[in-house]
Amino acid sequence: MQKLKLTVAGAVAALLVAASADAQVPDTPLPRFDPNAVPPAADVISAMKREASAEVVRLKAIDAAPDTARERGGGVSPNWVSATFFIGAMRLTRMSDAPDVLDYTLKIAQRYNYALRTGGAPVNLVNADDQALGDVYEDIYLRQGLPGVLMPTQQRLDYTVPYLRKDPQPGRLVWWWCDALFMAPAVYARMSAITGDSKYIDAMDVQWWRTYDRLWDDREHLFARDERFVTRVDENGHKIFWSRGEGWVLAGLARLLEAMPADYPSRPRYVKVYRQMAEKIITLQQPDGLWRSSLLDTQAFPEAETSGTALDTFALAFGINHGLLDRNTYLPHVTRAWAGLQDYILPNGVLGQVQTGGDQPVPTRRETIGLYASGAYLLAGSEVAKLNDPVSPLPLAVTPPAAMTQVASDMGPSRPPSTPAEAKEEQRRVLERQAVKALAYDPVTDDPDYTPVYNMGTKVQKQGRTK
């Protein structure tokens, strides 16, 4: 029996290796980037497409694997790991036509019924990591205007809001680790922008500054990963500031400032922290353009680390593009980092040299990958591609489309009918769908007083229905 278990385990492992390092290398060659020049936008977008498509190929292979392999193989889940990839993927699809990436992202959203991950217990319901995917659902809603896409995320935020601003302040934080400042705050800010209800951004604001008060190091201008690291030092006597942890915060600030109103009372404080971190981060960049896992003790872990580097690259390029950071000062750091990241794209097209999931610096290996690193790479590219564009003001416009009417159905054929019987069955399905559309009550078209939940006060254009 033990030998059989080992044989099965070996087969699963072999399957996952094939899925993760698939021979289907992207057809497009990897562009080369000059570390001392602003890259052409088309080349950056090409690199982004190549990376995203490679991940989609890899993930589809895992999706097709047996259940046991999927569970162990690092495939898609509604957790922060996958959320970070899809956040980056959606940015790519805003910039360029990437049908394979958009189709896969939308299918994953439908797979989870636009819901967030939860273990059911209250501590899970308020977990920032499990709310990160809400950003993707908000993005989909802003494209489609379907209330059902947004409702599960809004319900989760509604549940969490009272805990974020609870008074008197509890002894323990809801967002007790610095990663949370990437995962959740932008979701709350954008929910307020979509709905016009300030309760989300206001609650976020309370908790963000509570986290800041516990974790911010006013001397180093960096965040402790959590309260365990506020005073901890490593074997060489250096305080431990984790590269990806700082990247989470800095990139999270950039995403937050995208949606935060220009006149929001505490916005200047966020900008100040963002600038202080950026000023510190560039002093810690290494000659190859990347950052090391432990920012203050590069000798402890001398190898490059790509996930933190990609997050920093995104955040710094964002600051240049939106006038928050001086272009002459920060641009050389961004172009060096972007060029340096390309050296770690593996033969299968996916970014390597990624620190595994964790809470502090550890060694990295070239062959290690992570969906969150691929997502961070796409985020970085989304801003690097705009470095030749004029500076654009913040916040970015958030304009939900008019509410739509749609009858969801999974009854469509997977392929054209090939026999008379299949053609007859397809015709029956078409007539059934037409009947559903003709007979079902639709609040949008049947209620003259219908007001969509998420319309920011705009008038909804009624859509006629086909009889």
- 186, part of any domain: yes
Which pLDDT belongs to residue 100? Answer: 97
pTM of the model: 0.87
Which pLDDT belongs to residue 418? Answer: 79
Q: Provide the annotated active-site residues.
A: 179
- 105, part of any domain: yes
What CATH number did the domain enclosing 275 receive? 1.50.10.10
Burial of 328 (0-12, 13-18, 19+ CB in 10 A): exposed
- 405, part of any domain: no
Distance, CA of 372 to CA of 307 (rounded, Å): 7
Residue-wise over 9-23: b if at least 16 C-beta within 10 A, else e?
eeebeebbeebbebe
Residue 222, token pair as written in the block: 């960096």
Q: How long a stretch of residues is the chain?
A: 467
- 41, part of any domain: yes
Contact between 88 and 382 (Cβ < 8 Å): yes
Residue 206, token pair as written in the block: 């309370």
State the amino acid at position 191 in one-letter form.
Answer: M
Question: How many CB atoms are located within 10 Å of the residue 235 CB?
Answer: 7
- 434, part of any domain: no
Residue 136's nearest CA partner among 402, 379, 369 is 379
- 466, part of any domain: no
Q: What is the 3-state secondary structure (H, E, C) of the chain?
A: CHHHHHHHHHHHHHHHHHHHCCCCCCCCCCCCCCCCCCCCHHHHHHHHHHHHHHHHHHHHHHHCCCHHHHHHCCCCCCCHHHHHHHHHHHHHHHHCCCHHHHHHHHHHHHHCCCCCCCCCCHHHHCCHHHHCCHHHHHHHHHHHCCHHHHHHHHHHHHHHHHHHCCCCCCCCCCCCCCCHHHHCHHHHHHHHHHHCCCHHHHHHHHHHHHHHHHHEECCCCEECCCHHHCCCECCCCCECCEHHHHHHHHHHHHHHHHHCCCCCCCHHHHHHHHHHHHHHHHHCCCCCCCEECECCCCCCCCCEEHHHHHHHHHHHHHHHHCCCCCHHHHHHHHHHHHHHHHCCECCCCCECCCCCCCCCCCCCCCCCCCHHHHHHHHHHHHHHCCCCCCCCCCCCCCCCCCCCCCCCCCCCCCCCCCCHHHHHHHHHHHHHHHHHHHHCCCHHHHCCCCCCCCCCCCCCCCCCCCC
Contact between 277 and 347 (Cβ < 8 Å): no
Question: How many CB atoms are located within 10 Å of the residue 448 CB?
Answer: 6
Contact between 140 and 106 (Cβ < 8 Å): yes
- 377, part of any domain: yes
Contact between 129 and 80 (Cβ < 8 Å): yes
Which pLDDT belongs to residue 73? Answer: 53
Residues with Cβ within 8 Å of 27's Cβ and at least 6 positions away in sequence, in order, are none
Taking each helix axis from N to C terminus, what angle separates 243-259 and 267-283, rounded to the nearest 10 degrees?
150
Distance, CA of 347 to CA of 155 (rounded, Å): 42
Q: Domain residues for 220?
A: 2-384
Contact between 78 and 115 (Cβ < 8 Å): yes
The CB-side HSE value for 35 (13 A sphere, CA atoms) comes to 13
How confident is the chain (467 residues) per 10-residue block, as mean pLDDT? 35 38 61 96 97 96 73 78 98 97 97 93 96 98 92 97 97 98 98 95 98 98 98 95 98 98 98 98 98 96 97 98 98 98 96 96 96 98 98 89 53 65 87 85 80 50 36
Burial of 139 (0-12, 13-18, 19+ CB in 10 A): buried
Q: State how many domains the chain has.
A: 1
Which pLDDT belongs to residue 163? Answer: 98
Question: How many CB atoms are located within 10 Å of the residue 69 CB?
Answer: 20
Which pLDDT belongs to residue 173? Answer: 97
- 364, part of any domain: yes
